[in-house]
């Protein structure tokens, strides 16, 4: 299963090492290419926000977590397909 928190600190889209600004109960990681960013408030609400390029996906607790996770997974797949993300990164740099 896909790990939205990127425990390995590797961007799930481009494979770069992510900047990790996490503190005890808040996970905060950003890809330097801006493809993936996660802010996860583990305590007390298990609430997270993932930003893929400029679109954000939120989960406000256990009930919509699964749905949001699979949505994020689909988006990652989309950007990796035919290496679409490379064009997007170049576009952002212009």
- Name the site residues for Zn ion (rule: CB under 5 A): 11, 13-14, 16, 31, 33, 35
Q: Dihedral, CA atoms, 8, 47, 35, 32, nearest 10 degrees?
A: -60
Q: Nearest distance from residue 16's CB to Zn ion, in Å?
A: 5
Q: Which is nearer to Zn ion, 11 or 72 (CB)?
A: 11
Q: Which is nearer to Zn ion, 15 or 61 (CB)?
A: 15
Q: Nearest distance from residue 18's CB to Zn ion, in Å?
A: 7
């Amino acid at each position: 299963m896909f790990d939205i928190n990127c425990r390995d600190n590797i961007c799930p889209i481009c494979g770069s090492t992510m900047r990790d600004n996490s503190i005890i109960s808040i996970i905060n990681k950003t890809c330097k290419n801006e493809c993936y960013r996660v802010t996860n408030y583990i305590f007390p609400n298990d609430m997270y926000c993932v930003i893929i390029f400029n679109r954000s996906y939120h989960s406000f607790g256990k009930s919509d977590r699964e749905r949001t996770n699979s949505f994020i997974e689909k988006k990652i797949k989309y950007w990796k397909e035919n290496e679409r993300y490379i064009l997007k990164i170049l576009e952002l740099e212009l």
